[in-house]
Structure 1
Amino acid sequence: MILQSWRLFGVSVIIIIYICSVLLFSINSSPRSNQKNERIERFSEFANFHNSRFRGFTSKANIRWCNGLKYLKTNVPNNMITTVSALSTNKVATTEDTKDNAAYRIPGLTALASFPGSGNTWLRYLLQQATGILTGSVYKDYGLLKTGFPAENVRNSSVLLVKTHEFGPKAWDPFTKAILLVRDPEKAILAEFNRQSGGHIGFASPDRYKRTKGKYWQKFVLKNLKMWEATNLSWARDFSGNIKVVFYEDLVGNLEGTLRGILNFLEFPINEELFSCTLIRREGVFRRKKRFLNFDPFTISMRSMIKQKKLEVYKYLENLK
């Protein structure tokens, strides 16, 4: 009897030890921990969310300008120029405070026209670096206003050029020249989807592509593909002023040559010291980093439509280069 009691006690102790070991092992290798590591590995951009570079434009961007930014000499009365507060990172100076730009004017007003997601913010950054002159916009993006573009909503000859995504007679009327920045429609549409969901340098979550069983993303692609075509062809065909077509891919692949061509089109003298500095600081904080999804958001039919529209539009635009 006593022997049986000791056997029962021993078995009970072994069972208790086994259960405790299983619980301890489960805690150290919980599914939550594995899921977190797997998610970071699949979507590498998630690891950047704690990096100040990827907080969107709610915090002050740490931009190193090659020179203090300023306005151009202009015939526009001072009270007609939108005043902007200077950020410490921007070192903005007004026309009255500077002498080196006082004798220079750019003839007419130049538009920087593009479909959203084509890289206009990055090009504006490059031009501000290369010239030390502020660029304007027909919009007032408060995120950009606080982080490198204090002349947002300035649309007169005091700025180097003016950003716009609009087209049509009313949109063209203020401008005598235009730079049409064109990007591959697949990449431009994807960039615009990310911007609408995650800001200028953020990303759309993978779930956004699958919203309403993928219908939301499908409608977004179809709508924006039509807008991409209309934006580029309307400026190229119907704008009566002088126009220069710049392909985003050329800007990435041959930055020096493409940027020199843009400055020559603007009739702005190239300061070689500033230009060299721009090439060194080409990245800035306004280019969205690459990210890798574990699925292809574009269906076969989507890619077929995009390819067809790209061929048609690029064929027309190539003749204008």
Structure 2
Amino acid sequence: MALQGWRFFGVSATIIIYIGGVLFLSMNNIPGSHPKRPRIERFAEFPSFHSPRFPMPSRKMTIRWCRDLKYINRDLPIYADYKSDFYTALPSDVSAALQSLPALTALASFPGSGNTWLRYLLQQATGILTGSIYKDYGLLKTGFPAENVCNSSVLLVKTHEWGSKAWAPFSKAILLVRDPEKAIIAEFNRQSGGHIGFASPDRYKRTKGKYWQQFVSNKLKGWEMMNLSWARNFTGSIKVVFYDDLVHHTERELRSILDFLQFPINEQLMRCAIMRKEGIFRRKKRLLSFDPYTEAMRAEVQNRRRIVYGLLGRQEP
């Protein structure tokens, strides 16, 4: 009798465990019963890259070029993966050959000053590719296939660097200057939201606003050093272009830039460029519900702007 009782108990326990297991598995398969897995942001070099933090133009926003883009000289070697000191990174014979090429032109600017938009306008107005010392994968895939091309096969080369190494490869330069108050916010937006996105309001209030205040302080110094370094110390020919003039007098400024580059103007392409001047890389305006600049911050920004603009020959109103 005792043995039969133990057998009955064992069978009952097995059945209960089995039923419990089935119920447990069933509950775990109910939709919504699992916590959401964290989203993994992929690097931009992969085709599947997508992140809401860094929005890029969609396929519906494909750039319509006035003419198929091309290199000035396809026979020149195209090198990648080097930055502001790229000539010293190349073999000596190649480095010397590239430096001997005429009129390699820099498009120098502090970040957030409209460099990408001006490159877009020039590519529309000339049909010639523009290069960069950087390799921005977002730009590489959306209209700037000559990213990281740094020789005279392109119309000009983008750079945000300054100093003797930065300007050594160039014999000419276009310095694009923007109001620091707007340039700093544009760069803050780019670092937080990509080329056309925005920083969330909470980003300005991070660490009780100290993060934003330090960002402004650091970038304002960089803005001043970048612009004065190129304007005062670059020994080649230089043309200063103010972003506000480019916005309000786009055709006049484009003609002046092409004249400086000694590039013939195609009137049909110029009309097309002006008609399509907005493009997809000008960040749309967004009004914040608060002023990110304190009175002290704005006073310092305006003071630095007045000094730098004066040295660049632009009179403040």
Mapping for residues 36-75 of structure 1, pairs under 5 Å? 56-57=55-56, 59-60=58-59, 61-73=61-73
Q: State the alpha-carbon separation in 2 of the partners of residues 223 and 208 from structure 1.
A: 17
Work out whether 1:306 is the aligned partner of 2:305: no
Kept after mapping to 1: 8 A contact 2:196/2:284: yes
Q: State the alpha-carbon separation in 2 of the partners of residues 304 and 82 from structure 1.
A: 44
Work out whether 1:159 is the aligned partner of 2:154: yes
Quote how far apart the aligned CAs of 1:205 are: 0.2
Letter in 2 for 1:81: I
Query: Structure 1, residues 141-174: CA drift from partner, whole Å, max 9, x if none?
Result: 0000000100000000000000000011111111
Task: Tell me what 1:240 maps to.
Answer: 235
Kept after mapping to 1: 8 A contact 2:54/2:195: no
Task: Tell me what 1:195 maps to.
Answer: 190
Kept after mapping to 1: 8 A contact 2:174/2:239: yes
Work out whether 1:219 is the aligned partner of 2:218: no
Q: State the alpha-carbon separation in 2 of the partners of residues 308 and 266 from structure 1.
A: 33
Kept after mapping to 1: 8 A contact 2:162/2:226: yes
Quote how far apart the aligned CAs of 1:73 are: 2.3
Q: State the alpha-carbon separation in 1 of the partners of residues 70 and 225 from structure 2.
A: 34
Mapping for residues 233-312 of structure 1, pairs under 5 Å? 233-312=228-307
Query: Structure 1, residues 186-211: CA drift from partner, whole Å, max 9, x if none?
Result: 00000000000000000000000000
* Residue aligned with 1:159, SS: coil
Kept after mapping to 2: 8 A contact 1:250/1:258: yes
Kept after mapping to 2: 8 A contact 1:180/1:243: yes
Task: Tell me what 1:86 maps to.
Answer: none
Q: State the alpha-carbon separation in 1 of the partners of residues 165 and 75 from structure 2.
A: 23
CA RMSD of aligned residues (A): 1.8
Q: State the alpha-carbon separation in 2 of the partners of residues 303 and 206 from structure 1.
A: 18
Tell me the TM-score normalised to structure 2 length: 0.74
* Residue aligned with 2:263, SS: coil
Q: Which runs of 4+ in 1 moved over 6 A?
A: none
* Residue aligned with 1:133, SS: coil
* Residue aligned with 2:140, SS: helix
Q: State the alpha-carbon separation in 1 of the partners of residues 78 and 304 from structure 2.
A: 40
Quote how far apart the aligned CAs of 1:108 are: 1.4
Letter in 2 for 1:149: F
Task: Tell me what 1:145 maps to.
Answer: 140
* Residue aligned with 1:287, SS: coil
> Which of residues 101, 122, 128 in structure 1 aligns to 2:123?
128
Mark the runs of 5 or more structure 1 residues left unpaired by the alignment: 1-53, 84-105
Quote how far apart the aligned CAs of 1:82 are: 4.6
Task: Tell me what 1:205 maps to.
Answer: 200
Letter in 1 for 2:146: A
Tell me the TM-score normalised to structure 1 length: 0.73
* Residue aligned with 1:292, SS: coil
Aligned length: 242
